[in-house]
Amino acid sequence: MSQVSFVLAVTSGVNNTGKSTLIKSLGLQELKYDVHRKLYRLKNNEQYIIQVIEYNGIPPNLELLDGVFICYDTTNRDSMDYLPDLINVFVSQHVPCLLIGLKSDLTVQRTVDPQLGHLIGNLFGVQAIEADNITLQGIQLLQKRFIQFIYSDRKILLQSQQQGMTDPIIITPPSTR
């Protein structure tokens, strides 16, 4: 049994929001030795094992999660309808959240206001970003926010979430051995 360092859930209220593609965008190295769980490791850190759970809605065993990426689709207004309920459950269970609006490269098909994610995030003290899985810029933003998210001190993340602070927390990754 491997030691899992971080359990990340990637979820959304509806399907087809780009969750599976987002997990690929993170550029993690998939570990093949555990058929029951999707385990990955960071390319530059042998010790850090990440379990990723993709889910539509609220995954079971919330107490096992270290963090959640709550996704919506900027080309599908309906994908935002479930966000308040979803975020509320994670926040009340003290799971650190990041709200991610995907497919922002599809500017013509966009149906949601770029500020709406921030507004909803603000209501819950949850940070919100818009990004995409296609452009280099989008993928780099997702990777950067992922690294910040998994290396952040959970206590600090939750504290700011409870206080409704949505400014990004600047952290320094621990040096790899």
Ligand X SMILES: Nc1nc2c(ncn2[C@@H]2O[C@H](COP(=O)(O)OP(=O)(O)OP(=O)(O)O)[C@@H](O)[C@H]2O)c(=O)[nH]1
Judged by the rule CB under 5 A, the positions of this chain that interact with Mg ion are 19-20
Q: Which of 20, 29, 88, 176 binds ligand X (CB under 6 A)?
A: 20
- Do 108 and 49 contact (CB within 8 A), yes or no? no
- Could you tell which of Mg ion, ligand X, none binds residue 67, using a CB distance below 5 to 8 A set by kind? none
- As to burial, measured by CB atoms within 10 angstroms (0-12 exposed, 13-18 middle, 19+ buried), residue 173 is middle
Contacts 24+ apart (CB under 8 A), 138-146: 138/25, 138/104, 138/105, 139/25, 139/27, 142/22, 142/25, 142/26, 142/100, 143/25, 143/26, 143/27, 145/98, 146/26
Q: What angle do CA 173, 27, 157 make, to 5 degrees?
A: 40
Shortest Å, Cβ 174 to ligand X:
30
- Could you tell which of ligand X, Mg ion, none binds residue 103, using a CB distance below 5 to 8 A set by kind? ligand X
- Residues in region 84-143 near ligand X by CB under 6 A: 102-103, 105-106, 132-134
- How crowded is residue 125: how many other Cβ atoms within 10 Å of its Cβ? 18
Shortest Å, Cβ 132 to Mg ion:
16
Element of type H or E holding 83:
helix 83-92
- Could you tell which of ligand X, Mg ion, none binds residue 125, using a CB distance below 5 to 8 A set by kind? none
Q: Which of 5, 45, 56, 122 binds ligand X (CB under 6 A)?
A: 56
Q: Which of 6, 8, 9, 18 binds ligand X (CB under 6 A)?
A: 18
Rank residues 129 and 157 by Cβ distance to ligand X and give the closer one: 129
- Could you tell which of ligand X, Mg ion, none binds residue 79, using a CB distance below 5 to 8 A set by kind? none
- Could you tell which of ligand X, Mg ion, none binds residue 110, using a CB distance below 5 to 8 A set by kind? none
Residues at the interface with ligand X (CB under 6 A): 12, 15-21, 56, 102-103, 105-106, 132-134
